[in-house]
Chains A and B, each alone.
Chain A
């Protein structure tokens, strides 16, 4: 177990460093001079030069890269020229709001998608089953920002049931979380349905039936136990997805999370903040994958540390 985790951890570190380098390349190599942007088009050459020196932009690229990576290792990604102060700390301030959104979205997706999938597997080809397979396609096909706006109009403006943006209360979480979750409920249901259908046709399910177990016991004890492993993997991916997709949803709902911060920073070429935000999201993505690996070993009795 220890060695397996260590190997995964090392892989994660390599991937994280690669990802951070990729961000650096995209941001620094691509045209657009941050100094001009900060000072506006009327700035003098001298002013520009001093700003460049302040942000290390006058250095050769490889030196900028090394300085940058050294900073990353110390948890320092430079200062935000717009917000002032450390980019990392302003990013981390916003992160909990995004996490809360993603976590609730995950809860909603599982709470609805899992039972829906199990029900679909009970009667393949039935009305529920068709609903799931169509729902999973339509869910992915509707642009989520449009869905978010429609939900705001309906539940915030028309019915006045829920707040459309953050007001400090927990109810404000509901609309954006639902918007995040909706496209993936059908998707998860379909995954669960296919897995459950496959498992329920296996010999062990027949053995359970031969022992006198009812369909409910077969599905919710025997089959559910065996699709738990793949479903958990998918939940890790989903959580990562929700954190990333929150970028758009947060703009729709003016949600004070990481995503709206990052979109703001991108349009203003506030690269330190962009990098900090992307690195944070990417790291959480990688950590989630690690977590899934651990859960995988815990959940599947056949995966002993040696063969994992």
Chain B
């Protein structure tokens, strides 16, 4: 495992191997002085063949971060500063036309709810075939043949007849397979997966994750997995970035972050996950702050058991620490020490 994180925490080092990159990205709702900051300085790098998981509560800005890579921020939201790069190119230079040729071809997305992500008025097959028609200018028959093959490949049985079925005639898992097929149709280099299994049954979750992992490996995709589910993240990701109130508070290799969390929020998240055979899960006290009503200093301090006076005034920067990690916390030492204490007791 290379030190991707320390690298990304520095600025200006050679970024040629990054398939996609966000640097000090700020996203706000509204414009001018009234803009509400929702994402506040996020730096991430996606590299081919690797999965970076973006973890955090809803409202932490993780979905917006991934949509920024697609140039598909919702109405009202805009990139206020920072750069987004795809394949080394700054997307600020992209015209609408360029965006259209990039989306679906170089970067693709799998969404949370496969039912609402599919158009209820069109057959599933037509929607899977759409990338071929849009990008390659394929005729109806060519596109159909390719789409059927693709559907078969992602495990949709009887693809030839299922091509003409509508989304409501598919099961949740099959729908998500179709969405994945759509995303992978043109062999993109970057895949964004926004809570790809959240809306699915547990048994189906495992199948979809296996499918994603396999394609991820075979196609050497640079994947950004957005999830609030630490279990899902553990199964597929190599790197984790934890977001809180629009900032990355801890980032690093998966096992390092999971076994020795250095940020109190990460620690809280891990303690809050129910695990068989261990003590009862302990949820984090309080609620995350609303964007636009952030507390001064570190945004996490009102909920933080380690908070000191300094945390109320100083917002800690994301700083490299040991084993390839970066943490934004004044009291990292105390957080690590508390775990040692727990383990010995």
Contacts and interface: CB of A to CB of B under 8 A. Distances in A.
Decide if A and B touch, CB cutoff 8 A.
Answer: yes
Interface of A: 201-204, 206-214, 217, 222, 225-226, 228, 300-302
B117 A204 contact: yes
11 contacts: A201-B75, A207-B182, A208-B130, A209-B103, A210-B72, A211-B182, A212-B100, A225-B121, A228-B121, A301-B168, A302-B120
A213 B108 contact: no
A213 B134 contact: yes
Contacts of A202: 116
Nearest to A206: B72
Nearest to A211: B104
B135 interface: yes
Nearest to A218: B119
A212 B120 contact: no
A204 B70 contact: no
A273 B334 CA distance: 94
Contacts of B121: 222, 225-226, 228, 300-301
B118 A212 contact: no
Contact of A211 (B75, B96, B134, B168): B134
Nearest to B112: A203
Given A207-B179, A211-B131, A212-B135, 10 more contacts: A203-B116, A204-B120, A210-B104, A211-B104, A212-B101, A212-B103, A212-B134, A213-B100, A213-B130, A300-B121
A210 B108 CA distance: 6
Given A203-B111, A203-B113, A210 B70 contact: yes
A201 B109 CA distance: 17
A207 B128 CA distance: 11
Contact of A225 (B113, B119, B134): B119
Given A203-B111, A213-B134, A208 B119 contact: yes
Nearest to B107: A210
Contacts of A207: 109, 111, 117-119, 127, 179, 182
B130 A226 contact: no
Contacts of A203: 111, 113, 116-117
A209 B72 contact: yes
Nearest to B121: A225
Nearest to B134: A212
B72 A212 contact: no
Contacts of A208: 119, 130
B306 interface: no
B105 A204 contact: no
Contacts of B96: 214
A210 B104 CA distance: 6
A213 B100 CA distance: 6
Contacts of A301: 120-121, 166, 168
Contacts of A225: 119, 121-122
Nearest to A124: B75
Contacts of A211: 103-104, 108, 130-131, 134, 182
A302 B121 CA distance: 8
A204 B178 CA distance: 13
A93 B74 CA distance: 57
Most B CB contacts (10 A, CB to CB) among A222, A225, A301 go to A301
Contacts of B131: 211-212
Nearest to A229: B121
Most A CB contacts (10 A, CB to CB) among B96, B122, B168 go to B122
A222 B103 contact: no
A226 B130 CA distance: 17
B102 interface: yes
A214 B134 CA distance: 9
Given A201-B75, A207-B111, A302-B166, A212 B119 contact: no
A222 B122 CA distance: 8
Nearest first, the 9 closest Cβ-Cβ pairs linking A and B are A212-B104, A225-B121, A203-B116, A211-B104, A204-B119, A212-B103, A301-B166, A210-B109, A207-B117
Contacts of A226: 119-121
Interface string B113-142: 100111111100001001100110000000
